[in-house]
Amino acid sequence: MAITLELAYLEANDAATLQLSDVTGETALTDWTVGGNISYDDIDGVVGAGTYNLTLDIDITTSDGTTTSYDTIDMYDIFLSALGPAYTYPDDFVFELNSTHLLETGVAIGTATDELPDGIYEFTYTILDQATGLPDDTIAPVLVESVLIDGQVRIKVYDALREIGVKYDCVGMEIPVDCTIWADMMDAIFKYTLFYNMISNVSEATESDVLTMLTTLENLTVND
């Protein structure tokens, strides 16, 4: 029986952190430790037979269609090794990624507080056999999946929505009505409509359309 790896994703409100949680589990036959599967604590960073490592590869396609492949992330070395041999599952299999973990030939794209780039992220999550340095499908098929990360435009769209109440109150006090304020409110609603449509239609088949909508949102919010 092989492990079926599974990840869950959560963006931070400041767009600087992306939380990846290993939600593979420990109960079904395709989970860690069950039915002869390797245990999560076999991920120990030791090179040799019967030991394993976790790696993560990230390819980001931004709104202009450019795809950047970042250096492989050693999940044990970066996240688990500091916990020593006593790390547990699932509590310690929650990985907080930021711009310091996105390296291009060893150089990080930013600091821990910089916003992560918006775009479609393709994640490749792998268990490596330390004896060979290669994935082994008999242990676990490699998990490959894509996720839309939209933190930068989301912050700007939500900021515009929060202003609607303030602007509406101001309009009620204006005689004659200030048309500029009404236009600002309609603009915020339009941005949210486009944003909601983008996040509601994410799939491999709609990737091009999603990137086009992301481009439009970036253009609409560039001065916000």
Note the pLDDT tens digit of each residue in 143-157: 999 999 999 999 999
**What is the Cα Rg of the chain in Å?**
22
- Count of Cβ atoms closer than 10 Å to residue 177 Cβ: 11
Full-model pTM: 0.92
Q: What is the mean pLDDT of the chain?
A: 91
d(CA 169, CA 172): 5
Q: How confident is the model at residue 61 (pLDDT cuts 50, 70, 90)?
A: very high
25 touches 35 (CB < 8 A)? no
pLDDT over 70 at 83, yes or no: yes
d(CA 40, CA 85): 11
d(CA 94, CA 7): 10
- Mean pLDDT score, 194-213: 94
What ranges do the domains of the chain cover?
Answer: 7-149, 151-220
- Count of Cβ atoms closer than 10 Å to residue 107 Cβ: 8
d(CA 38, CA 106): 31
